[in-house]
């Protein structure tokens, strides 16, 4: 799941200051689950834009904004998109990029993309993966220190970690405390014997 959050409405209005005839595209996948791009959020955005003097020509919600196959597939969902002067995409950066690829009009984001996360036991878990393209998560018990440690430390916790809490965000558990517990649970504390060099981290 791509974790994204809504931009302040004032920032969206600034992005759209020279635009009108806006078409809104939501996302039936991640953004909907996070309540930043589902039907309720799209309709709320439509109302707020119109109350701010903007003309919204229509909207649609593809199953996933990041997998829109073509402009014609959007036309099938709502033909009025052909009348749009611009498109506001209420999804992650991938969704914005894909819509930009198939549309001939300016495309604007309503959300900020933060990280790759997931859902567990009904809870959204952010920053599970840093999407670095060189996955070594097996060595850390399935917990990614690049994605979850603010300092991206690969050889254990920093000196500021106290009582299993993160120095940067004391409300969060130190990812290295979680890694240790996980490796201990699965009987693989030997994984901690591996020392990562700068070359291995950056290659």
Instruction: Quote the CA–CA distance of 160 and 157 in Å, as a whole number.
Output: 8
pLDDT in tens, 138-157: 889 888 898 889 898 999 99
Beta strands 107-109 and 56-60, pairing class? unpaired
- Two structure tokens written together for 99: 């819509």
Instruction: Quote the CA–CA distance of 140 and 121 in Å, as a whole number.
Output: 22
Instruction: Quote the CA–CA distance of 96 and 179 in Å, as a whole number.
Output: 34
- Is pLDDT at 1 greater than 90 in this prediction? no
Instruction: Quote the CA–CA distance of 186 and 124 in Å, as a whole number.
Output: 24
pLDDT of residue 199: 61
What is the dihedral sign for C-alpha 173, 175, 181, 185?
Answer: positive
> Do residues 60 and 124 make contact, with C-beta atoms less than 8 angstroms apart?
no
Task: Say what the pTM is.
Answer: 0.75
């Amino acid at each position: 799941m791509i974790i994204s959050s809504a931009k302040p409405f004032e920032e969206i209005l600034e992005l759209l200051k020279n635009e009108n005839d806006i078409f809104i595209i939501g996302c039936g996948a991640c953004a909907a689950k996070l309540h930043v791009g589902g039907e309720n959020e799209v309709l709320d955005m439509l109302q707020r834009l119109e109350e701010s003097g903007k003309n919204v020509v229509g909207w649609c919600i593809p199953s996933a904004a990041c997998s829109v196959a073509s402009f014609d597939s959007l036309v099938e969902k709502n033909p009025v998109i052909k009348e749009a002067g611009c498109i506001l995409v209420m999804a992650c950066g991938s969704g914005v990029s894909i819509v930009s690829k198939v549309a001939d009009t300016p495309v604007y984001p309503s959300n900020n993309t933060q990280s790759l996360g997931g859902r567990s036991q009904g809870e959204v878990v952010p920053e599970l993966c840093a999407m670095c393209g060189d996955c070594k998560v097996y060595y850390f018990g399935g917990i990614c220190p690049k994605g979850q440690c603010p300092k991206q430390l690969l050889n254990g916790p920093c000196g500021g970690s106290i009582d299993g809490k993160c120095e940067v965000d004391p409300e969060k558990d130190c990812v290295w405390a979680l890694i240790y517990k996980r490796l201990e649970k699965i009987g693989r504390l030997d994984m901690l014997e591996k020392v990562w060099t700068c070359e291995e981290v950056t290659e």
